[in-house]
Amino acid sequence: MIGCLIIHGFTGAPKEVEDIQNHFAGESWLVYTPELPGHDGTRESMRDADYRAWVYKAQVALEELMKRCDEVYIIGFSMGGVIAGYLAARYPVDRLVLISSAVFYLNPKQIAEDLKGWFLEGIRGELDQNDIYRFYREKIRRTPVSAAVEFTKLVKKLRHALNDINVPTLIVQGEKDGLVPVRSAEYIYEHIRSEDKEIYFFEEAKHYIWYGSDKEAFLKKLDSFLKTPAGSENDDKRSRKRHDEDSAAETIHF
């Protein structure tokens, strides 16, 4: 049986990656998305946040999957991608997917564009109808400074593990992500040791790639990576690709 550990992001919850979980659960995989400590959606719970507890919860979940399954994959989103990379460096997992992984965070240029758009919507009286704006507004309201400090500690402590990742890895990034800049994905690609690695960009996507029009293509890309038998593609697996190149150009190999 295939086991799949999905790790959600900072201030998030299993629900935010529910589409991914349901997609692979339908394949008769054993899919588990643990709720990281303090991530029950309340500000009070996040006040006592400790990044070590987040890592430990994911680690225990991985160990349980490894006991029960023949193959184990890890999918990490945002902060969960940092944790996923750390675990993949320490445990003999079979494949790794890093989505919008926050090795670096905040993209000032894209944030400015988003704020400009929200400002114009506010003038037109349409801002409260913007689901993305309301989503992030609530996240900010329920996130104490102490929790944000724990997030930065986690990134600083675990980022070094990238150098020890030697497992087939897919890195997926939205180019209009205001929270995680493109350079984060580039950094991961350049620093992991695996020769079997791919970095894939969605040109119009933001942080939650699958929340928009790219959802189908995003899930298809994950399928392609996780369901393709090992060794069935070209020997040179190091590649970079954008979603809009799929039908018009070949993968660029390095």
Sheet containing 30-32, strands listed edge to edge, beginning at the edge strand earlier in sequence: 30-32, 2-7, 71-77, 95-99, 169-174, 197-202, 239-242, 252-253
Q: Which pLDDT score is estimated for 32?
A: 97
Whether residue 140 lies inside any domain: the answer is: no
Whether residue 10 lies inside any domain: the answer is: yes
User: Of residues 207, 214, 239, 243, which has the active-site annotation?
Assistant: 207
Whether residue 230 lies inside any domain: the answer is: yes
**Segments forming the whole domain that contains residue 59:** 2-106+145-253
Which of 18-27, 78-87, 217-226, 233-242 has the lowest average pLDDT? 233-242
Please check if 104 is assigned to a binding site: no
Angle at 97 between CA 94 and CA 101, to 5 degrees: 140
Whether residue 137 lies inside any domain: the answer is: no
DSSP line for 132-183: HHHHHHHHHHT--HHHHHHHHHHHHHHGGGGGG--S-EEEEEETT-SSS-HH
Q: Which pLDDT score is estimated for 252?
A: 28
User: Of residues 100, 177, 239, 243, which has the active-site annotation?
Assistant: 177
User: Of residues 78, 100, 101, 184, which has the active-site annotation?
Assistant: 78
Whether residue 112 lies inside any domain: the answer is: no
Please check if 10 is assigned to a binding site: yes
Instruction: Please choose, from the candidates 111, 74, 79, 105, the residue with its C-alpha nearest in 3D space to the C-alpha of residue 91.
Output: 74
Q: Which pLDDT score is estimated for 44?
A: 84
Whether residue 213 lies inside any domain: the answer is: yes
* pLDDT tens digits along 104-134: 875 445 445 544 444 444 556 655 655 555 5
Active site residue 207: yes
Average the pLDDT over 155-177 and give the result: 95
Higher pLDDT, 121 or 34: 34
This prediction's pTM: 0.83
Token output for 163: 């150098």
Number of domains in the chain: 1
* pLDDT tens digits along 57-94: 999 999 999 999 999 999 999 999 999 999 999 999 99
Whether residue 133 lies inside any domain: the answer is: no
The percent of residues above 90 in pLDDT, for the chain, comes to: 61
Average the pLDDT over 3-25 and give the result: 95
**CATH code of the domain covering residue 50:** 3.40.50.1820
